[in-house]
């Protein structure tokens, strides 16, 4: 078996793509099926007279299909993987020319990157001057946006938080749009969070709104006080305000924290916000005991591409973007992919220990709202419509409501209702389970 269904679902660009791929996972729908040590391929009838040619590099986890879809992998690629996931065995066969040529060409490009063009001093000077001009223009816009949002929060405080449930959705949407216009997309995100609160729930909304408003206010004050901050803290504030972090720059940044390790792919989350798909891949370094978050984005004009599979162990180097609390990073190099864990990770033994650890992280970065942790010996229980994780001391932590019943059933089938060691993402008042550890393996939910 080359893939598991949970792994294939984790790399699907959208839930609808996985659902469509499942419909194509019946072997007799495919005109041609083949497998080698490094690839799987197939041909399937499409809407035209010619079949679609679908191929997957299973070693480098790359996808190609002749269909017009802008999703990677497309439904045909997902269907092809699901076909092989259901096969117990399939003998390797010679690669057809169209598969072999594709793999040779794409690996040749990765091994021989295009050399950078030589830049003269004049070109560099012009580029630096243009960057400085753009920076100064953006600073003016951001400062104006910060002032506007500060007044907006003051109005909320003056009228009183109890009026928030009476505000129309446009009240928040319009201010978020103003922050986007001010080149402060990070601030727009916080305003959107305030607008997404369930104000019909009288027991929760006030605390949630108070926390979000407090964090926005702290961020605005930190920006205004930026000249007194350390360079690293200043970079953190800029990232939170909305400055983009360059993956290309991080690839060659020798000053960035970079760790060579065996990285477990704990889980992959896809979230669709308006037309943007946000892909979060959570990693854990077995030796370093460090976590990393790899972010990818997709849009109708730039398809989402994720090459990592949940459950796998990537041998390689992860580099972190500069931050007061390093979390987001990229995989700089990858030399091997494993499927077993040779060393037991470090776990929290109870929720109290995990929460105390989170408080320490919040001291460094008060705006943390997604943080992975490992905790041992918890059991999944349900009370009324709410799932909980109970630790060895009978303390419970609510599971985020979006945790699906299917994943809960997978957990119960895997654990037999007993206690297991798990990876979770802590989000303030609840957790999202990512997967379960068992002996030398990790299984994503």
Of 1-5, 272-276, 431-435, the range with the highest mean pLDDT is 431-435
**Range name among 136-150, 209-223, 261-275, 297-311 with the lowest pLDDT average:** 297-311
Residue 174 pLDDT greater than 70, yes or no: yes
Q: Give me 264's structure tokens.
A: 């477990």
Cα–Cα distance, 381 to 399 (Å, whole number): 10
Given a contact cutoff of 8 angstroms between Cβ atoms, the answer to whether 435 and 406 are in contact is no
Cα–Cα distance, 283 to 339 (Å, whole number): 14
Mean pLDDT of the chain, nearest integer: 89
Mean per-residue pLDDT for 305-325? 88
Q: Which of 10, 2, 28, 63 is nearest to 53 (CA)?
A: 63
Mean per-residue pLDDT for 83-112? 79
Q: pLDDT higher for 321 or 72? A: 321
Mean per-residue pLDDT for 404-431? 91
Mean per-residue pLDDT for 158-174? 94
Q: What is the model's pLDDT at position 255?
A: 92
Mean per-residue pLDDT for 175-185? 95
Pairing state between β 258-273 and 420-426: unpaired
Q: pLDDT higher for 91 or 312? A: 312
Give yes or no on whether 247-338 and 351-444 have one common fold.
yes
CATH of domain 247-338: 2.40.50
Q: 311-330 burial string, b = 16+ CB within 10 Å, else e?
A: bbbbebbbbbbbbbbbbbbb
Q: What is the model's pLDDT at position 1?
A: 46
| Residue in this structure with the two tokens 């990770």, named with its chain if needed | 345
276 pLDDT band, cuts 50/70/90, is confident
Mind listing the pLDDT tens digit for each residue in 230-257? Answer: 999 999 999 999 998 888 899 989 999 9
Domain range 351-444, CATH architecture: Beta Barrel (2.40)
Residue 110 pLDDT greater than 60, yes or no: no
| Residue in this structure with the two tokens 């009183």, named with its chain if needed | 160
Mind listing the pLDDT tens digit for each residue in 44-71? Answer: 988 778 899 999 988 777 888 999 887 8
Mean per-residue pLDDT for 70-81? 88
Residue 157 pLDDT greater than 50, yes or no: yes
Sheet holding 431-438, edge to edge: 396-398, 386-390, 371-383, 420-426, 431-438, 441-444
Mind listing the pLDDT tens digit for each residue in 342-387? Answer: 889 999 999 999 999 999 999 999 999 889 999 999 999 999 889 9
User: Model-level pTM?
Assistant: 0.80
Q: What is the model's pLDDT at position 358?
A: 94
The CA R_g of the chain, rounded to the nearest whole Å, is 24
Crossing angle of helices 121-159 and 185-195, in 10° steps, is 30
Q: Domain-by-domain residue ranges, the chain?
A: 5-111, 121-241, 247-338, 351-444
Sheet holding 30-35, edge to edge: 30-35, 39-44, 52-57, 62-65
Pairing state between β 313-320 and 291-298: unpaired
């Amino acid at each position: 078996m080359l893939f598991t269904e949970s792994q294939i679902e984790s790399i699907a660009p959208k839930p609808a793509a996985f659902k469509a791929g499942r419909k194509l996972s019946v072997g007799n729908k495919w005109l041609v099926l083949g497998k080698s040590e490094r690839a799987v391929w197939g041909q399937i009838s499409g809407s035209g007279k010619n079949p679609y040619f679908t191929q997957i590099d299973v070693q480098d986890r790359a996808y190609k299909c002749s269909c017009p879809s802008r999703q990677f992998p497309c439904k045909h690629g997902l269907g092809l993987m699901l076909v092989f996931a259901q096969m117990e065995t399939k003998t390797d066969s010679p690669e057809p020319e169209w598969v072999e040529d594709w793999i040779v060409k794409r690996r040749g490009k990765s091994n021989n990157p295009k050399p950078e063009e030589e830049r003269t001093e004049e070109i560099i000077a012009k580029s630096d001057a243009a960057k400085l001009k753009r920076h100064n223009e953006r600073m003016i816009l951001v400062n104006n946006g910060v002032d506007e949002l500060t007044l907006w929060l003051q109005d909320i405080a003056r009228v009183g938080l109890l009026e928030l449930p009476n505000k129309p959705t446009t009240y928040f949407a319009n201010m978020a749009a103003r922050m986007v216009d001010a080149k402060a997309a990070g601030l727009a995100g916080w305003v959107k969070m305030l607008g997404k609160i369930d104000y019909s729930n009288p027991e929760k909304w006030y605390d949630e709104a108070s926390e979000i408003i407090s964090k926005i206010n702290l961020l605005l004050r930190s920006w205004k006080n930026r000249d007194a901050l350390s360079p690293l803290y200043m970079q953190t504030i800029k990232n939170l305000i909305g400055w983009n972090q360059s993956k290309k720059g991080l690839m060659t940044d020798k000053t960035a924290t970079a760790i060579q390790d065996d990285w477990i792919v704990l889980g992959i989350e896809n979230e669709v916000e308006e037309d943007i798909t946000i892909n979060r891949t959570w990693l854990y370094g077995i030796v370093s005991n460090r976590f990393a978050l790899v972010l990818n984005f997709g849009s109708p004009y730039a398809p989402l591409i994720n090459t990592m599979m949940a459950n796998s162990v990537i041998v390689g180097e992860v580099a972190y973007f500069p931050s007061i609390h390093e979390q987001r990073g990229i995989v700089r190099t990858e030399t091997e992919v494993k499927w077993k864990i040779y060393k037991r990770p470090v776990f929290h033994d109870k929720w109290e220990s995990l929460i105390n650890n989170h408080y320490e992280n919040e001291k460094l970065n008060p705006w943390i709202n997604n943080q992975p942790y490992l905790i041992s010996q918890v059991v999944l229980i349900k009370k009324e419509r709410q799932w909980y994780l109970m630790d060895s001391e009978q303390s419970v932590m609510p599971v985020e409501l979006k945790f699906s019943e299917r994943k809960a059933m997978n957990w119960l089938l895997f654990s037999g209702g007993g206690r297991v060691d798990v990876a979770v993402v802590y989000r303030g008042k609840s957790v999202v389970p990512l997967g379960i550890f068992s002996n030398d393996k990790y299984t994503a939910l």
